[in-house]
Protein backbone atom coordinates (compact mmCIF):
# COMPACT_ATOMS: atom_id res chain seq x y z
CA UNK A 1 0.00 0.00 0.00
CA UNK A 2 1.58 3.26 -1.10
CA UNK A 3 -0.96 5.50 0.62
CA UNK A 4 -0.81 7.21 4.00
CA UNK A 5 -0.50 4.71 6.82
CA UNK A 6 -1.15 5.20 10.51
CA UNK A 7 -0.25 3.06 13.47
CA UNK A 8 -1.88 1.84 15.61
CA UNK A 9 -5.40 1.66 14.19
CA UNK A 10 -6.91 1.47 17.66
CA UNK A 11 -5.61 2.45 21.08
CA UNK A 12 -7.31 2.05 24.45
CA UNK A 13 -5.57 3.72 27.32
CA UNK A 14 -6.25 4.64 30.91
CA UNK A 15 -6.72 8.27 31.86
CA UNK A 16 -3.42 9.87 32.74
CA UNK A 17 -1.29 7.67 30.50
CA UNK A 18 0.76 8.95 27.58
CA UNK A 19 0.13 7.74 24.04
CA UNK A 20 2.04 8.15 20.78
CA UNK A 21 0.73 7.68 17.26
CA UNK A 22 2.71 7.36 14.05
CA UNK A 23 1.93 8.52 10.52
CA UNK A 24 3.82 7.55 7.38
CA UNK A 25 2.83 9.89 4.54
CA UNK A 26 3.05 9.26 0.82
CA UNK A 27 6.78 9.32 0.18
CA UNK A 28 7.03 12.33 -2.13
CA UNK A 29 4.58 14.47 -0.14
CA UNK A 30 6.24 17.27 1.80
CA UNK A 31 3.16 18.44 3.70
CA UNK A 32 1.76 16.41 6.56
CA UNK A 33 -1.34 17.27 8.56
CA UNK A 34 -2.83 15.99 11.80
CA UNK A 35 -6.57 16.30 12.35
CA UNK A 36 -8.88 15.10 15.12
CA UNK A 37 -12.39 13.90 14.37
CA UNK A 38 -15.15 13.19 16.85
CA UNK A 39 -18.44 11.51 16.01
CA UNK A 40 -20.65 13.64 13.82
CA UNK A 41 -18.04 16.34 13.28
CA UNK A 42 -15.68 17.32 10.53
CA UNK A 43 -11.93 16.87 10.86
CA UNK A 44 -10.54 19.51 13.23
CA UNK A 45 -7.11 20.88 12.39
CA UNK A 46 -4.42 20.15 14.98
CA UNK A 47 -1.08 20.90 13.37
CA UNK A 48 0.88 20.62 10.19
CA UNK A 49 4.37 20.29 8.78
CA UNK A 50 6.16 21.27 5.65
CA UNK A 51 9.09 18.89 5.48
CA UNK A 52 10.41 18.84 9.07
CA UNK A 53 9.16 22.32 9.97
CA UNK A 54 6.02 22.58 12.08
CA UNK A 55 4.18 25.50 10.47
CA UNK A 56 1.27 25.87 12.81
CA UNK A 57 -0.32 24.36 15.87
CA UNK A 58 -3.99 24.91 16.61
CA UNK A 59 -4.70 27.36 19.40
CA UNK A 60 -7.27 24.84 20.62
CA UNK A 61 -4.53 22.31 21.27
CA UNK A 62 -3.34 22.05 24.84
CA UNK A 63 0.29 21.76 25.82
CA UNK A 64 -0.30 18.04 26.41
CA UNK A 65 -0.19 17.54 22.64
CA UNK A 66 3.07 17.54 20.73
CA UNK A 67 3.99 16.47 17.23
CA UNK A 68 7.28 15.90 15.46
CA UNK A 69 8.49 15.13 11.99
CA UNK A 70 12.22 14.81 12.62
CA UNK A 71 13.46 13.89 9.15
CA UNK A 72 10.67 15.26 7.08
CA UNK A 73 9.25 11.80 6.51
CA UNK A 74 7.11 10.08 9.16
CA UNK A 75 5.49 12.02 11.98
CA UNK A 76 4.51 11.22 15.55
CA UNK A 77 1.74 12.74 17.64
CA UNK A 78 2.06 12.38 21.40
CA UNK A 79 -0.64 13.06 23.96
CA UNK A 80 0.54 13.28 27.54
CA UNK A 81 -1.65 12.70 30.59
CA UNK A 82 -4.62 11.65 28.48
CA UNK A 83 -8.13 12.73 29.44
CA UNK A 84 -11.48 11.24 28.49
CA UNK A 85 -12.11 14.23 26.24
CA UNK A 86 -9.14 13.18 24.12
CA UNK A 87 -11.12 10.16 22.88
CA UNK A 88 -11.47 10.65 19.12
CA UNK A 89 -10.22 9.54 15.74
CA UNK A 90 -6.83 11.05 14.94
CA UNK A 91 -6.34 11.44 11.21
CA UNK A 92 -3.14 12.10 9.33
CA UNK A 93 -3.06 13.44 5.77
CA UNK A 94 -0.33 14.38 3.32
CA UNK A 95 -0.09 16.46 0.19
CA UNK A 96 2.35 18.27 -2.06
CA UNK A 97 3.09 21.88 -1.17
CA UNK A 98 2.11 24.52 -3.65
CA UNK A 99 0.00 22.19 -5.74
CA UNK A 100 -3.20 22.81 -3.80
CA UNK A 101 -3.83 19.24 -4.67
CA UNK A 102 -5.56 16.42 -2.98
CA UNK A 103 -4.75 15.76 0.65
CA UNK A 104 -4.70 11.98 1.09
CA UNK A 105 -5.90 10.73 4.44
CA UNK A 106 -4.74 7.74 6.41
CA UNK A 107 -7.17 5.29 8.02
CA UNK A 108 -6.79 7.06 11.35
CA UNK A 109 -6.03 5.99 14.89
CA UNK A 110 -9.06 5.63 17.12
CA UNK A 111 -8.19 6.57 20.69
CA UNK A 112 -10.38 5.57 23.60
CA UNK A 113 -9.47 6.91 27.03
CA UNK A 114 -11.10 4.99 29.86
Partner 1 sequence: GENVEQHPSTLSVQEGDSAVIKCTYSDSASNYFPWYKQELGKRPQLIIDIRSNVGEKKDQRIAVTLNKTAKHFSLHITETQPEDSAVYFCAANSKTSYDKVIFGPGTSLSVIP
Rounded-to-integer distance, Cα 111 and Cα 104, Å? 21
DSSP state of 8: -
Tell me the closest approach of the beta carbon of residue 94 to partner 1, in angstroms: 12
- Tell the smallest beta-carbon distance from residue 34 to partner 1 (Å): 11
> What residues make contact with partner 1 under the rule CB under 8 A?
33, 35, 40-45, 48, 50, 55-56, 91, 97, 100, 102-103, 105-108
- Shortest distance, position 17 Cβ to partner 1, whole Å: 25
Q: For the chain, how long is the longest CA-to-CA vector?
A: 41
Q: How far apart are CA 69 and CA 17, in angstroms?
A: 22
Cβ closer to partner 1: 43 or 113? 43
Amino acid sequence: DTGVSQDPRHKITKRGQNVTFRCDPISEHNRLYWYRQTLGQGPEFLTYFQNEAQLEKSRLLSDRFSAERPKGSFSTLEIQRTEQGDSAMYLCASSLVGAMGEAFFGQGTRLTVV
